[in-house]
């Protein structure tokens, strides 16, 4: 890695996005962070010295703001599309999932990540950088009740693969972190105890191993990378 590196992380106010932001800041990275909720995002900004923009990446106007910030950078080495939408909670079967709800899930989990990759492409290519879309095992395993979320992550995986083929000068990854103890995971199991799931911080070493080693573009599981610790 060069001496000064810069990353854009979406969904950076909580969960894995927050854990990753803290870890990269500890490494000396410059950060651009975005998330929907201002107060927790501000706390992460204060802890990392990042540029922080509150807003929804599914909103084209917010993405325009992000594009302006990226346009002012000297370089952009890493983009992490971590923001995601689960859909209704409790999660309905596909037979009961409203088409409008599916549209919202796809907009956040597929359309927005592509838009972020598009607006950051020139800066990433200039740095021969890395793009990471956060995936899920629901993309490849048909869990009952996870239809909306799962099909969106399957689409994101395929989008990622094609984007990697079309941009061979970049490294483009789908990263499946596995189960984590996050607010989204809790929303998937309302009222249940998910304290047996690992904290997001335990997955960060696998992610760092991925970007440090820069394997060929493709889908990678945290469990297959650096040992959890």
In angstroms, how far is the first alpha carbon of the chain from the final one?
23
Instruction: Give how far Cα 170 sits from Cα of 101, 128, 130, 133, 224, Å.
Output: 33, 5, 6, 13, 22
Could you tell me if 105 and 85 are in contact, meaning their C-beta atoms sit under 8 angstroms apart? yes
Is 149 annotated in the active site? yes
Q: How far apart are CA 179 and CA 12, in angstroms?
A: 18
Question: CB neighbours (10 Å) of residue 37?
Answer: 11
Q: Kindly tell me the burial class for residue 130, based on how many C-beta atoms sit within 10 Å of its own C-beta (0-12, 13-18, 19 or more).
A: buried
> From CA 115, how far away is CA 160, in angstroms rounded?
12
Q: Give the H or E element holding residue 160.
A: helix 147-166
Catalytic residue annotation: 149
């Amino acid at each position: 890695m060069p001496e000064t590196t810069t990353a854009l992380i979406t969904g950076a106010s909580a969960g894995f996005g927050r854990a990753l932001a803290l870890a990269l800041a500890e490494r000396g990275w410059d950060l651009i962070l975005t998330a929907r909720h201002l107060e927790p995002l501000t706390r992460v900004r204060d802890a990392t010295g990042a540029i922080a923009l509150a807003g929804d990446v599914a909103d084209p106007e917010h993405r325009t703001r992000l594009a302006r910030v990226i346009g002012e950078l000297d370089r952009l080495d890493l983009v992490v599309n971590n923001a995601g939408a689960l859909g209704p909670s409790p999660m309905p079967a596909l037979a009961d999932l409203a088409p409008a709800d599916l549209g919202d899930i796809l907009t956040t989990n597929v359309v927005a990540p592509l838009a972020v990759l598009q607006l950051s492409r020139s800066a990433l290519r200039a740095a021969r950088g890395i793009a990471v879309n956060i995936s899920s095992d629901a993309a490849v395993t048909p869990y009952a009740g996870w239809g909306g979320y799962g099909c969106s992550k399957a689409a994101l995986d395929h989008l990622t693969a094609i984007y990697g083929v079309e941009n061979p000068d970049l490294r483009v990854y789908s990263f499946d972190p596995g189960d984590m103890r996050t607010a989204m995971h809790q929303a998937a199991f309302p009222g249940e105890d998910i304290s047996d799931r690992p904290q997001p911080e335990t997955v960060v070493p696998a992610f760092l191993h991925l970007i440090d080693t820069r394997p060929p573009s493709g889908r990678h599981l945290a469990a297959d990378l650096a040992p959890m610790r």
